[in-house]
A and B are shown apart, each in its own frame.
Chain A
Amino acid sequence: MMKITATWPELTLPEDLVYFRCRDQYLVANPGLATWAVLGETELSVLRSLAIGKPAPPVGIGPDSERILARLVLHWLVYLPGRPPQVRQPRSSLREVYYAITDGCNLRCPYCYASSTRKLPGELVTTESLDLVDQVAALGAETLILTGGEPLLRRDIFDVADHARRQGLLVNIITNATRIRDAATARRMADTFATITVSLDGGTAETHEPTRGKGTFAQTARGLSLLNEAGVQPMINHVVTPGNIQFLDKLAEFASGLKFRGVRLMQHAEIGRGAGDGMRYAFDHHMAVQRFIWTHPLASKLIPEGPKPARQCDIRANCGLGGNEIYINSLGDVYPCKLVTGPLHKAGNLRDRPLGDIYQGPVLADMRTNSVFEGENLADCRRCYIRASCGGGCRAYHAAMTGDLKRNSRTLCRMLRHSAVTRFWLASGFTGRDLAEHHDEMTTPRLVRDDAVHPVFEDWRPEAEPGWRPAAASRRDLPLAVLGGATPGERA
Chain B
Amino acid sequence: MILRPSDYVVWTGDGDEVRLYDTMTGDFQTLNATAARIWQLIAQGRPVSAIVAELVTDFAADDAGEAQVIEGDIREFVAALHAARLVVLVAQDAESAVSDGEVVADASASA
A74 contacts B by Cβ under 8 Å: yes
Contact with B along A1-41 (1 / 0, CB 8 A): 11110000000000000000000000000000000010000
Q: Which residues of B contact A486 (CB under 8 A)?
A: none
Within the assembled complex, what's the spacing in Å between the Cα atoms of A75 and B19?
A: 9
When C-beta atoms are compared, the residue in chain B nearest to A310 turns out to be B15
Contact indicator B10/A74 (Cβ below 8 Å):
yes
Contact indicator A66/B23 (Cβ below 8 Å):
yes
Contact with A along B60-95 (1 / 0, CB 8 A): 000000000000000000000000000000000000
Within the assembled complex, what's the spacing in Å between the Cα atoms of A73 and B15?
A: 18
Within the complex, the shortest CB–CB distance from A489 to chain B, in Å, comes to: 46
Within the complex, the shortest CB–CB distance from A389 to chain B, in Å, comes to: 14
Size bracket, chain A contacts: 10 to 19
Given contacts A1-B25, A1-B27, A67 and B14 within 8 Å (CB-CB): no
Within the assembled complex, what's the spacing in Å between the Cα atoms of A313 and B21?
A: 18
- Identify which of residues 311-340 in chain A touch chain B, using a CB-to-CB cut-off of 8 Å: 311-313
B11 contacts A by Cβ under 8 Å: yes
B12 contacts A by Cβ under 8 Å: yes
Most buried by A among B19, B25, B26: B26
Contact indicator A4/B12 (Cβ below 8 Å):
no
Contact indicator B26/A74 (Cβ below 8 Å):
no
Contact indicator A67/B26 (Cβ below 8 Å):
no
Contact indicator B14/A311 (Cβ below 8 Å):
yes
Given contacts A67-B10, A311-B15, A73 and B21 within 8 Å (CB-CB): yes
Contact indicator A74/B19 (Cβ below 8 Å):
yes
Q: Which residues of A contact B25 (CB under 8 A)?
A: 1
A71 contacts B by Cβ under 8 Å: yes
Within the complex, the shortest CB–CB distance from B18 to chain A, in Å, comes to: 10
Contact with B along A45-85 (1 / 0, CB 8 A): 00000000000000000000011001101110000000000
Contact indicator B15/A70 (Cβ below 8 Å):
no
Within the assembled complex, what's the spacing in Å between the Cα atoms of A2 and B26?
A: 6
Within the assembled complex, what's the spacing in Å between the Cα atoms of A70 and B22?
A: 9
Within the complex, the shortest CB–CB distance from A314 to chain B, in Å, comes to: 9
Q: Which residues of A contact B27 (CB under 8 A)?
A: 1
Within the complex, the shortest CB–CB distance from A282 to chain B, in Å, comes to: 34
Within the complex, the shortest CB–CB distance from B53 to chain A, in Å, comes to: 27
Residue in B10, B15, B20, B26 whose beta carbon sits within 8 Å of that of A3 in the complex: B26
Q: Which residues of A contact B11 (CB under 8 A)?
A: 74
Within the assembled complex, what's the spacing in Å between the Cα atoms of A1 and B23?
A: 10
Contact indicator A74/B15 (Cβ below 8 Å):
no
Q: Which residues of A contact B28 (CB under 8 A)?
A: 73-74
- Identify which of residues 5-37 in chain B touch chain A, using a CB-to-CB cut-off of 8 Å: 10-12, 14-15, 19-21, 23, 25-28
Q: Which residues of B contact A310 (CB under 8 A)?
A: 15
Within the assembled complex, what's the spacing in Å between the Cα atoms of A70 and B8?
A: 11
Contact indicator A71/B14 (Cβ below 8 Å):
no
A residues contacting B by CB (< 8 A) are: 1-4, 37, 66-67, 70-71, 73-75, 310-313
A-B contact pairs, 29 of them (CB 8 A): A1-B25, A1-B26, A2-B26, A3-B23, A3-B26, A4-B21, A4-B26, A37-B12, A67-B10, A67-B23, A70-B10, A70-B21, A70-B23, A71-B10, A71-B12, A73-B21, A73-B28, A74-B11, A74-B12, A74-B19, A74-B21, A74-B28, A75-B12, A310-B15, A311-B14, A311-B15, A312-B12, A312-B14, A313-B14
